[in-house]
C-alpha cells in the first residue's frame, strides 16, 4: 500500500503539468477539502440513497424469488430465461429505458441498481435451495416433517450459505449499478461530481471522488464478507 502510494506520488510528479495523473498528495489535499464541503456530502447522500433503497429491494425480492425458484421447479423454469438474460447482457443500455419509464428521479437510479444486482442473488439462492442435500430432506420426511416444516427447518437454513454468497456478489454489482446510473444520463450525486470535474479537467478533485467511490465499494464488500462469516459459522 505504502509502495503503491509512493509510486503514484512519483509518477504524478513526473507527469506534472500534464492532465493525466495528479500526485497522491494533491489528491489527498483535494479529498480533505471535499470532506469538509457540504455539497460533497449532499451528493454523497443522493448517491447512497439509490444504493440503499436499491439493495433493500434486491434483498426483499431476490431472496424470496430465489427460494421459490430453487424449491419449486416450475417457478425456477419460469424465471430462468429472465435471470440468464440479466446475467449475460450488459445492463448499462437499460438505463436510458428506465429514464424513459421512470423519469430522471430516484426511481430510475434504484431500478438500475436493482437490475444490476438482483439476478446474481436470485441465481445463488435458487442454486442453494435446489442443492439441499437429499439425505437431509429424506431424514426430515422420515421423522414426519410437513411440507412447511421441510421448507422452514431444512431448505431455508441449507440455503443460507448460498444466500450469503449471493448477497456479497449482488452488493458489488449494486455499487456498479449505482455509479453507472449517475454517469449515464442521470447526472446527480457523486456521478455528477465526477462528470463535472472531468469536464473541467480538475483531475485532483476527480481522483478524490473516484477514491470515495472505491471506498464505498470496498466498505460494502467488507461488510458483506463479515455478514457471510456471521451467518455461516457451522459450515
Partner 1 sequence: MGMNGTVIEVSEVSRHFRIAGHELTALFGLSFAVRRGEFVSIIGPSGCGKTTLLRMLAGLIEPHGGQIRVGGRPVRGPGRDRAVVFQDFALLPWETVLGNVAFPLEIQGLPRGEREERARRAIALVGLAGFEASYPYQLSGGMQQRVGLARALVVDPETLLMDEPFGALDAQTRHLLQDEVLALWQAHPKTVVMVTHDMEEAVYLSDRVLILTARPGRLAREVAVPLPRPRDESVRRSAAFAEAVEDVWSSLRTLVAA
What's the length of the chain?
Answer: 235
The only residue of 29, 53, 160, 185 in contact with partner 1, by rule CB under 8 A: 160
Report how many residues bind partner 1 under the rule CB under 8 A.
19
Measure the CA–CA gap between 16 and 6, rounded to whole angstroms: 15
- Torsion of the alpha carbons at 221, 223, 228 and 233, rounded to the nearest 10: 140
Decide: is 64 part of the binding site for partner 1 (CB under 8 A).
Answer: no
Measure the CA–CA gap between 229 and 235, rounded to whole angstroms: 10
Q: Which three cell numbers stand for residue 24?
A: 497522491
Decide: is 149 part of the binding site for partner 1 (CB under 8 A).
Answer: yes
Of 44-52, 69-77, 136-144, 204-212, the window that binds partner 1 (rule: CB under 8 A) is 136-144
Decide: is 136 part of the binding site for partner 1 (CB under 8 A).
Answer: yes
The Cβ of residue 204 has, within 10 Å, a number of other Cβ atoms equal to: 18
Residue 53: name the closest of 203, 186, 206, 174 by CA.
174
Please, which residue, 130 or 141, has the CB nearer to partner 1? 141
**Binding to partner 1 in span 73-102, by CB under 8 A:** none
Please, which residue, 28 or 232, has the CB nearer to partner 1? 232
The only residue of 145, 169, 183, 227 in contact with partner 1, by rule CB under 8 A: 145
Helix axes 203-231, 189-199, angle to 10 degrees: 150
The only residue of 26, 140, 193, 213 in contact with partner 1, by rule CB under 8 A: 140
Instruction: Kindly list the residues in this chain that would bind partner 1 in the complex (CB under 8 A).
Output: 133, 135-136, 138-145, 149, 153-154, 157-158, 160, 234-235
Amino acid at each position: 500500500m505504502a509502495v503503491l502510494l509512493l509510486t503514484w506520488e512519483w509518477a504524478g510528479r513526473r507527469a506534472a503539468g500534464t492532465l493525466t495523473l495528479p500526485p497522491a498528495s494533491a489528491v489527498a489535499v483535494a479529498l480533505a477539502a471535499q470532506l469538509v464541503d457540504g455539497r460533497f456530502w449532499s451528493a454523497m447522500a443522493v448517491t447512497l440513497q439509490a444504493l440503499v433503497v436499491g439493495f433493500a429491494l434486491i434483498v426483499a425480492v431476490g431472496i424470496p424469488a430465489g427460494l421459490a425458484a430453487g424449491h419449486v421447479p416450475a417457478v425456477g423454469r419460469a424465471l430462468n430465461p429472465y435471470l440468464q438474460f440479466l446475467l449475460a447482457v450488459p445492463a448499462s443500455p437499460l438505463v436510458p429505458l428506465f429514464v424513459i419509464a421512470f423519469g430522471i428521479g430516484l426511481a430510475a437510479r434504484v431500478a438500475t441498481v436493482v437490475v444490476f444486482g438482483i439476478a446474481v442473488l436470485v441465481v445463488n439462492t435458487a442454486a442453494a435451495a435446489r442443492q439441499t442435500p437429499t439425505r437431509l430432506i429424506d431424514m426430515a420426511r422420515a421423522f414426519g416433517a410437513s411440507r412447511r416444516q421441510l421448507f422452514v427447518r431444512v431448505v431455508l437454513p441449507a440455503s443460507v450459505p448460498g444466500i450469503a454468497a449471493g448477497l456479497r456478489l449482488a452488493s458489488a454489482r449494486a455499487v456498479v449499478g449505482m455509479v453507472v446510473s449517475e454517469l449515464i444520463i442521470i447526472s446527480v450525486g457523486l456521478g455528477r461530481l465526477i462528470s463535472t470535474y472531468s469536464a473541467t479537467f480538475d483531475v485532483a478533485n476527480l481522483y478524490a471522488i473516484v477514491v470515495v467511490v472505491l471506498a464505498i465499494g470496498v466498505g460494502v464488500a467488507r461488510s458483506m464478507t463479515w455478514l457471510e462469516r456471521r451467518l455461516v459459522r457451522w459450515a
